Amino acid sequence: MAETIRQVPEPTRPDAPRETPGGARTALLLCGVLAALLYVVTTVLAGMQWEGYSSTSQTISELFAIGAPSRPLVVVLFLVHDVLVIAFALGVWASAGRRRALRVTAGMLIGIGLIGLVATPFFPIHLRGVEGTLTDTMHAALTAVLVLLIVLAIGFAAGAFGKGFLLYSLVTLVTLVVFGALAGMQGPLMAANEPTPWLGVFERINVGGYLLWLLVLAVALWRPSMGARRPGVNAGQREP
């Protein structure tokens, strides 16, 4: 005769994510993937709109510079990107459990999204050859803060998923430092309206490293969420 086996629920692990109704946490984590993909698509489409634009020697900021033909498209899509980053940050927070470092990472990501919501529409740079104003100065300052928040976000999350993710995060940080320095060395040339060979490449490697890290973080947090949905032995399951 079949007998009902009652199981005592296992204690919740300190790092266990909090489940939210209707898979809301999973949807928020998916926003991280969408944010990264949208950013890449935006830069490609914007470059196609601007005849003569060079992804090799020109920066992404120039795509939404004052007077740039691609500015209307980039502003709209980048604002959507920033909203998705903030939504992803909420998913990171909901997945953190008692891991304080991940909650700090979520806070840094919220800051990244908020800076984007302010800098993109209100503080663009001018096109090359046009004298800079307050918007150019504010853009540079906000970009510096943005880079700091990205480095902090990666640094705090580095130890959250074991040695593999730690090593990957460290490689990402080294990439950001090296190619950020290479791009920074060409900053004065851009300000002087001089040729900036490879500036676009250096910057895109930097941005690409950060976006790829977002994707990896989203997957790392998503996998436990998907695992929690796998069928298993539940309370009230019958054994023969």
Is 17 within a domain?
Answer: no
pTM of the model: 0.84
Is 133 within a domain?
Answer: yes
Is 38 within a domain?
Answer: yes
pLDDT tens figures, 200-238: 999 999 999 999 999 999 999 987 654 444 444 343 343
In whole angstroms, what is the distance from residue 238 CA to residue 2 CA? 7
Is 235 within a domain?
Answer: no
Is 152 within a domain?
Answer: yes
Is 208 within a domain?
Answer: yes
Q: How many domains does the chain have?
A: 1
List Cα–Cα distances, 206 to 75, 169, 199, 214, 231, in angstroms.
20, 13, 11, 13, 41
Span 20-33, average pLDDT? 83
pLDDT tens figures, 35-94: 999 999 999 999 999 999 999 999 999 999 999 999 999 999 999 999 999 999 999 999
Count other Cβ atoms within 10 Å, centred on residue 162: 9
Domain that residue 40 falls in = 23-226
pLDDT of residue 224: 60
Is 36 within a domain?
Answer: yes
Is 41 within a domain?
Answer: yes
